[in-house]
Amino acid sequence: MTSKIIWIITAIILIIGISYLYQTVPNKSDIKMVTMIDNAGEAIGTIALSETKAGVLFNIDLKGLNPDGEHAIHIHEKGKCTPLSTFKDAGGHYNPMDNKHGMKHPEGQHAGDMPNLKPDSAGIIQVAFVNLHVTLDSGKSGVLDEDGSAIIIHAGADDHVSQPSGAAGNRIACGVIE
Ligand SMILES: [Cu+2]
């Protein structure tokens, strides 16, 4: 009798645990896959975006970067990445709350500001982080607003305090969030 009760309790715990997992792992159909292109128009990898309870999860998978480099990554305000360009048409940083630039700025930060990326010795970046300041929809902080948004990677690192964009240098890769 006692063992039967233990089995029932174990089964209930398992069912609750599995349903919790299903709830937190995003559906494949909810993932926005962003293809990143360089200034020559070549694809250098992907960034998978998915909404979680904590914020938008960025799953980054890029190659062909300078192993000695460090790169700023931001969300920019327009969903435009014209191939064979310097990606200026993506506009400035996505900043729906009208804050100052920089994760270390006292009046920061832009919603599109994110931590710098450091390639490994083979020039590969495989990392994941959550951006707490945006949503994957067309709401107030949504990256899918009327003119869309783009993810930009810069030649240099973001100092997370200089205005208006962290002195991060040229735009070396771009991907439209759609
Ligand atoms: Cu930028």
Domain with residue 39: its CATH number is 2.60.40.200
Name residues with Cβ closer than 5 Å to ligand 1, which is an ion: 74, 152
Answer for the pair 134, 151: CB distance below 8 angstroms, yes or no: no
pLDDT tens for each residue of 17-65 = 666 655 556 566 689 999 999 999 999 999 999 999 999 999 999 999 9
Give the distance (Å) from ligand 1 centre to CA of residue 26: 27
Q: Which residues contact 109 (CB under 8 A, 6 or more apart)?
A: 99, 100, 101, 102, 103, 133, 160
Give the distance (Å) from ligand 1 centre to CA of residue 115: 11
pLDDT tens for each residue of 60-104 = 999 999 999 999 999 999 999 999 999 999 999 999 999 999 999
What local confidence, expressed as pLDDT, does residue 3 receive? 79
Beta strand residue intervals within 16-170, DSSP E: 32-38, 43-51, 56-62, 73-76, 125-131, 149-154
Under DSSP, the state recorded for 107 is: T
Domain containing residue 51: 28-177
Whether residue 147 is contained in a domain is answered as yes
Give the distance (Å) from ligand 1 centre to CA of residue 143: 15
Whether residue 14 is contained in a domain is answered as no
Give the distance (Å) from ligand 1 centre to CA of residue 32: 20
Whether residue 162 is contained in a domain is answered as yes
What local confidence, expressed as pLDDT, does residue 58 receive? 98
Whether residue 159 is contained in a domain is answered as yes
Q: Looking at the 3D structure of the chain, how many domains does it have?
A: 1
Whether residue 105 is contained in a domain is answered as yes
Element (DSSP H or E) covering residue 10? helix 2-24
Which pTM value belongs to this model? 0.84
